[in-house]
C-alpha cells in the first residue's frame, strides 16, 4: 500500500523548503538584481556591427595626458589599498597540556581529602560532594601535587614547579610540532589569571628557551577564563603592526596557590571545577605559513560589562571571615553571563550571520518595538554561520545555558561537555582542548567556521571566529585525546552518586 503522509508532516516540509528558498533568495539578492542588467548589456553588444563597435571604441579613447593621469590614480589607489588592508593572521598549530596519570583526582579521593582537611565541617564536605555529583567532571581530571597533600601546601616553590611543568611541556610540544626555532619568536604573550610571580611567567620562558633580547613579551593576569581570547586579540593587533612576524600565546591557570581551605560555599565551588591545563598557540602573519597553517583568524569580539557593579563583583577573589583567600562565585553568575553573551552576539551577529537571518532579526526587533512589546525576541540561527562551537567548559550549567540560548544540538556542544568531563575546567585553555577534540574526531574540514566563546571575571564575554585553512587529519601524537578519543563521547548522567 502507498504511504499516506500526514498533513502535519507535509506542512512542516513546506515550511522547511519555504525557509530554505527565502534564505537563498535573500543571501543572493545582488546576483538576482545584477543578472538581468548584465544580460541586457550583453545582448545589446552582440547586436552591434563591427563598425559600430569600432566607432564606440573611438568615441571613448583618451588623449595621452588624461591616460597618464588615470593610470597614476589607479596605481596610487591600488597601492594604498594593498598597503592599508589588514594582514591575514594564521594559526599555524597549537599544543595542549596532558597531565601525568599520577596527578589524577578521582571524585572519591577528592571527597576523602575534603573530610580529612575539614574534619569539623561536615556540611562543607557534603556540599562539595553534591557539587561533584552534578558537575559533569569525570574520574581522570588532574590536580597538582600540592593539592594532593594533606593539608594542601600552596607554597610559591610548588606553584612555580607546576607552572614550569605545564608551560614548558606545552612549549616543547609546540616547538616540536611546528619545527620553530625559539630564536624566531617575535612576540610572546602569557596569560595566567591568579598566579603572577616576579620575575613573570613570560620572563621564565625567555630564560628557559634563551629567546631574543628584543622580543616583545607580555604577561596578562587577573583577567579570568576569557583571558585566552584577550591574548589572541592582543597578538592580532601586534601582528598587524609588525610584518613578517610570529607570536606565541600561552594560556594556563596555576592551581597550586588557589585552593580554598575555608567553609564558605560560594568559595568552595571552584575547588570542585578547576583542574590542571594549558595551551600554547603559534600565530603568524607570514605568507610562507599560509599552506601549513591550520586556521585563519576572522574576527575577535570582546564585551566587558565591568561598568555594572553586579557584573564586576560576580566573580571575585577575596578573603572569607576567617581570612582565607578564595574565589567567590556569586549566585547571579548565570544571569550576568547571559547579559554579557547577549551583548556579545549583538556585536558579532552582523559580522557572521547570513543576510536572511539579519533581516528576520531586524523585522522582529521592529515588531517588538512598535507593535508587540511583550513578544519574544528572535534568536538568530547561528548554526547557519558556524559548523563548530567551542563553548568555554566552565561548568555544566554554563554549557546547558548556552545550548538552550543558541538552540544548539547535542553534537554542537559535544566537544565542550567531553572536555569538561575529561579535563575539568582548565580556565582559559579549555577552548583549545575542545578544538583538539573536534580535530581528533576527524570533523574539521577545509572551509569550516569555528566560534569560540569564553567568559571571565570582570565580567567579560569574548568571542573568536576561525576558518579552517585545510582539512585536518586525525592527529596521532601531541594530542591530549590521542589515546582516549575512541572512548568518547560518553554518557554523562545528571547526577553521579558518590
Known catalytic residues?
225, 304, 388, 392, 425
∠168-173-178 over CA atoms, to 5°?
125
Spatial CA neighbour of 171 closest among 276, 278, 246, 92 = 278
Cβ pair 457, 306 in contact under 8 A: no
The DSSP code for 325 is E
Q: Which of 194, 251, 258 is nearest to 226 (CA)?
A: 251
Write the DSSP symbol of residue 104: B
User: Ramachandran region of residue 48, left (φ > 0), alpha (ψ -120 to 50) or beta?
Assistant: beta
Q: Which residues contact 350 (CB under 8 A, 6 or more apart)?
A: 358
Partnered with residue 411 across adjacent β-strands are none
Cα(234)–Cα(411) distance, integer angstroms: 31
Q: What is the 3-state secondary structure (H, E, C) of 348-363?
A: HHHHHCCHHHHHHHHH
Residue 384, all three cell numbers: 547557519
| Nearest-5° Cα angle at 102, 190 to 120 | 90
Nearest partner of 438 among 450, 422, 426, judged by Cα: 450
The CA distance from 58 to 426, in Å, is: 71
C-alpha–C-alpha distance, residues 464 and 233, integer Å: 9
Q: Write down the H helix ranges in 308-390.
A: 309-313, 333-352, 355-370
Helical segments of 179-247, H only = 201-209, 227-241
Ramachandran class of 179: left when φ > 0, alpha when ψ lies in -120 to 50, beta otherwise? left
Neighbours of 350 (CB within 10 A): 13
Whole-number Å distance between alpha carbons of 123 and 130 = 11
Amino acid at each position: 500500500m502507498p504511504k499516506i503522509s500526514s498533513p502535519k508532516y507535509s506542512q512542516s516540509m513546506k515550511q522547511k523548503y519555504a525557509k530554505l528558498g527565502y534564505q537563498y533568495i535573500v543571501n543572493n539578492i545582488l546576483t538576482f538584481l545584477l543578472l538581468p542588467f548584465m544580460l541586457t548589456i550583453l545582448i545589446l553588444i552582440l547586436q552591434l556591427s563591427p563598425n559600430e563597435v569600432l566607432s564606440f571604441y573611438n568615441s571613448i579613447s583618451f588623449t595621452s595626458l588624461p591616460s597618464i593621469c588615470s593610470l597614476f590614480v589607479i596605481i596610487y589607489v591600488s597601492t594604498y589599498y594593498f598597503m592599508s588592508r589588514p594582514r591575514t593572521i594564521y594559526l599555524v598549530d597549537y599544543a595542549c597540556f596532558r597531565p601525568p596519570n599520577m596527578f589524577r583526582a578521582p571524585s572519591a579521593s577528592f571527597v576523602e581529602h575534603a573530610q580529612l582537611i575539614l574534619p569539623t565541617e561536615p556540611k562543607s564536605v557534603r556540599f562539595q560532594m553534591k557539587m561533584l555529583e552534578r558537575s559533569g567532571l569525570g574520574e581522570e581530571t588532574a590536580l597538582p601535587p600540592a593539592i594532593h597533600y594533606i593539608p594542601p601546601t600552596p607554597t610559591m616553590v610548588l606553584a612555580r614547579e607546576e607552572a614550569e611543568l605545564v608551560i614548558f611541556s606545552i612549549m616543547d610540544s609546540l616547538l616540536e610540532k611546528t619545527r620553530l626555532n625559539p630564536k624566531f619568536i617575535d612576540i610572546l604573550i602569557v596569560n595566567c589569571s591568579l598566579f603572577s610571580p616576579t620575575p613573570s611567567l613570560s620572563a621564565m620562558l625567555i630564560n628557559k628557551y634563551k629567546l631574543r633580547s628584543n622580543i616583545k613579551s607580555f604577561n596578562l593576569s587577573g583577567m579570568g577564563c576569557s583571558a585566552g581570547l584577550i591574548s589572541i586579540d592582543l597578538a592580532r593587533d601586534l601582528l598587524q603592526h609588525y610584518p613578517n612576524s610570529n607570536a606565541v600565546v600561552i594560556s594556563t591557570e596555576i592551581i597550586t596557590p588557589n585552593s580554598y581551605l575555608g567553609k564558605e560555599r560560594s568559595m568552595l565551588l571552584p575547588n570542585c571545577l578547576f583542574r590542571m591545563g594549558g595551551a600554547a598557540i603559534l600565530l603568524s602573519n607570514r605568507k610562507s605559513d599560509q599552506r601549513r597553517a591550520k586556521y585563519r583568524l576572522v574576527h575577535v569580539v570582546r564585551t566587558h560589562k565591568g561598568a555594572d557593579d553586579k557584573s564586576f563583583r560576580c566573580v571575585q577573589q577575596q578573603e572569607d571571615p576567617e581570612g582565607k583567600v578564595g574565589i567567590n562565585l556569586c549566585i547571579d553568575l548565570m544571569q550576568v553571563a547571559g547579559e554579557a553573551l547577549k551583548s556579545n552576539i549583538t556585536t558579532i551577529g552582523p559580522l557572521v550571520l547570513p543576510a536572511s537571518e539579519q533581516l528576520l532579526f531586524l523585522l522582529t526587533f521592529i515588531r517588538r518595538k512598535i507593535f508587540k512589546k511583550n513578544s519574544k525576541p528572535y534568536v538568530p540561527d547561528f548554526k547557519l554561520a558556524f559548523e563548530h562551537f567551542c563553548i568555554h567548559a566552565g561548568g555544566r550549567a554554563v554549557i546547558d545555558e548556552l545550548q538552550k540560548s543558541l538552540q544548539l544540538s547535542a553534537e554542537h556542544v559535544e566537544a565542550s561537555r567531553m572536555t569538561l568531563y575529561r579535563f575539568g575546567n582548565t580556565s582559559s585553555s579549555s577552548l583549545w582542548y575542545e578544538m583538539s577534540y573536534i580535530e581528533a574526531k576527524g570533523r574539521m574540514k577545509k572551509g569550516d567556521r569555528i566560534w569560540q566563546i569564553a567568559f571571565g571575571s570582570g565580567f567579560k564575554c569574548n568571542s573568536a571566529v576561525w576558518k579552517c585553512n585545510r582539512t585536518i587529519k586525525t592527529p596521532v601524537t601531541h594530542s591530549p585525546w590521542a589515546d582516549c578519543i575512541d572512548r568518547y563521547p560518553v554518557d554523562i548522567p545528571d547526577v553521579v552518586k558518590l
